[in-house]
Structure 1
């Protein structure tokens, strides 16, 4: 029975990080609709190991991420599995907005002058959190953008899908490794909104149920079975 539970709300344009133990799960909820969560993972026991977007996508033969998909490190291990998803599509390839991008799109605002109405960007938000762990610019990787959907048009262009995530949409990640989770709630870089998208996100962290032999995520692809096996070998050696 799950007994431990932690909840918090990340403000619009906010950033957050926490070391999560394997066997825990995190549910993120789009509270108002239209949220974006930029997210990265690192191995807290070896910070050189980080989330790898290309391996995550190519080994699961996908462009989008949803229930059943696993999120891989650059060492062939699995940081987390997506065990629940009400949306069916999360962006995996479009990266972060920057200060210049935000200033050109929505106007430059800083915290000193605008307080909670300032315009933070994903790039700088990640760097603020990474600095807490001795990490910096060279440690950034291609990030996830949860709650956001980007399609390709008939001309081959990438197009942001407005209205994709409604209020109450949620996704649950079960952590298969000890994982340093770093995230922000800054806008998606392709969001065409006229106003700076200020959207809060709820977080709930609990213990996860043990992984069974018929686990959906582990058996979603043969490659995922190998990823779980790599995790088992890693923890066999680390105790």
Structure 2
């Protein structure tokens, strides 16, 4: 049955949405913290260090509280990330919810990444640039076919292989978060690549908020001006867990983050 909504009903729905948005934004911090310093400080309590070559992928496990630092070897790297609960891989990263409940696509220091069960998978504890893309996804066979270079690999195929190594398949892959990908939406609603947001020495640190499985692919982003090139290598540093303060920004920045961590505690 087709239900016709009157202009008054549409206006009422709009008011409810705007009231909900206002409450969410009023609780959010008035200003996010300053970007993390460049260069990246020396890491303590390093468990492992790995170099992820351009075009390739890797899989990792993080225990609750452990951190992963990611640092491109040079400008132009863009790594795609997918994450699952290690205890139950049917729970996976959910970028639409991550963006929706935090009222922003700008996932940077102080923000969190939610699962499809309303729990927090990862906190972004350090970030030098804030240039990450939660909207467009990674490269696919179709996006690189136009370059005619058989040596170029793509994120979609890489993550299918990574998922298989984790005992998963392509149906388990969520929408991916592209780190070091300065994608923004212009006034006309078009995606654009803002290269000036990134700089040599950029880095980001993610803290696991539960035991996790991660898959990463180091392929050029499809909107990058360097999409026809193999990107530079990326350094992955796995850090031991450290105590988390009660007033930790990621855990207190928004009402939604607080509820997400409450959901974590119930599991």
Asked whether the two chains share a fold, i.e. TM above 0.5, the reply is: yes
Q: Which residue of 2 aligns with 1:212?
A: 245
Q: Which residue of 1 aligns with 2:50?
A: 8
Residue correspondence of structure 1 range 177-196 to structure 2 within 5 A: 177-193=210-226, 195-196=228-229
Cα displacement (A) at 1:194: 6.7
Residue correspondence of structure 1 range 40-119 to structure 2 within 5 A: 40-104=82-146, 106-109=147-150, 118-119=151-152
Q: 2:234 aligns with which of 177, 198, 201?
A: 201
C-alpha contact (below 8 Å) 1:41/1:50 kept by paired residues: yes
In terms of mean alpha carbon deviation, does 196-205 or 23-32 score higher? 196-205
Structure with greater strand percent:
1
SS of the residue corresponding to residue 251 of structure 2 reads: coil
2:61 paired with 1:19: yes
Q: 2:189 aligns with which of 147, 150, 156?
A: 156
Given the two structures, how large is their TM-score scaled by the length of structure 2? 0.80
In terms of mean alpha carbon deviation, does 20-29 or 207-216 score higher? 207-216
SS of the residue corresponding to residue 49 of structure 1 reads: coil
SS of the residue corresponding to residue 41 of structure 1 reads: strand
Q: Which runs of 5+ in 1 are unaligned?
A: 110-117, 235-239
Whole-Å separation in 1 of the counterparts to 2:72 and 2:166: 27
What per-residue deviation string (whole Å, max 9, x for no partner) do you get for residues 42-75 of structure 1?
1121111100001111111101210011011000
Given the two structures, how large is their TM-score scaled by the length of structure 1? 0.89
SS of the residue corresponding to residue 99 of structure 2 reads: helix
C-alpha contact (below 8 Å) 2:61/2:213 kept by paired residues: yes
Whole-Å separation in 1 of the counterparts to 2:118 and 2:258: 11
Q: Which runs of 5+ in 2 are unaligned?
A: 1-43
Cα displacement (A) at 1:125: 0.3
Whole-Å separation in 1 of the counterparts to 2:206 and 2:76: 20
**Residues 1:9 and 1:226: Cα distance change in structure 2 (over 3 Å):** same
SS of the residue corresponding to residue 48 of structure 1 reads: coil
Q: Which residue of 1 aligns with 2:177?
A: 144
What per-residue deviation string (whole Å, max 9, x for no partner) do you get for residues 100-150 of structure 1?
21121x3231xxxxxxxx210000000011011221121111110000111
Cα displacement (A) at 1:29: 0.4
Q: Which residue of 2 aligns with 1:112?
A: none
Cα displacement (A) at 1:163: 4.5
C-alpha contact (below 8 Å) 2:76/2:220 kept by paired residues: no
Question: How many residues of Structure 1 are paired with residues of Structure 2 in the alignment?
Answer: 224
Larger radius of gyration between Structure 1 and Structure 2? 2
C-alpha contact (below 8 Å) 1:70/1:217 kept by paired residues: yes
Higher relative contact order (CA 8 A, sep 6+): 1
